[in-house]
Amino acid sequence: MRALLVALLVVAPATACELPGGDAQKIQATHYLVLYRTQPAPLKVGQHFALEFAVCPTPQSVRVDAWMPEHRHGMNYRPTVTGTGEGRYKADS
């Protein structure tokens, strides 16, 4: 029984952090894994886009910003982030 519990704990985070549809980019941090993709892809400079993403483990809250190094600031508007269930989100401008 103990081995089964350990196996379930190891498998659960991997299955929870999926972004259906393939071609997701991945960011691995100390405490979180983020899978994401933009719509449309690829992006053009100055083009508005949506961002689909999954965060594992599921955080208490999320927000989205983009950094423009040449301008030394983030986005000029705040996107709306909507939870779509199971640690998945969509951000729209």
Q: What is the pLDDT along the chain (93 residues), one digit of tens a residue?
A: 333 333 333 434 444 588 888 889 999 999 999 999 988 887 787 788 899 999 999 888 998 887 878 888 887 888 899 999 888 999 997
DSSP secondary structure of 7-65: HHHHHHHHHHS--TTS--EEEE-SS-EEEEEEESSS--TT---EEEEEEESPPS-----
**pLDDT value of position 42:** 77
State the total domains in the chain.
1
- In this prediction the pTM is 0.73
Nearest to 26 by CA among 12, 15, 37: 37
The domain containing residue 75 runs over which residues?
A: 2-92
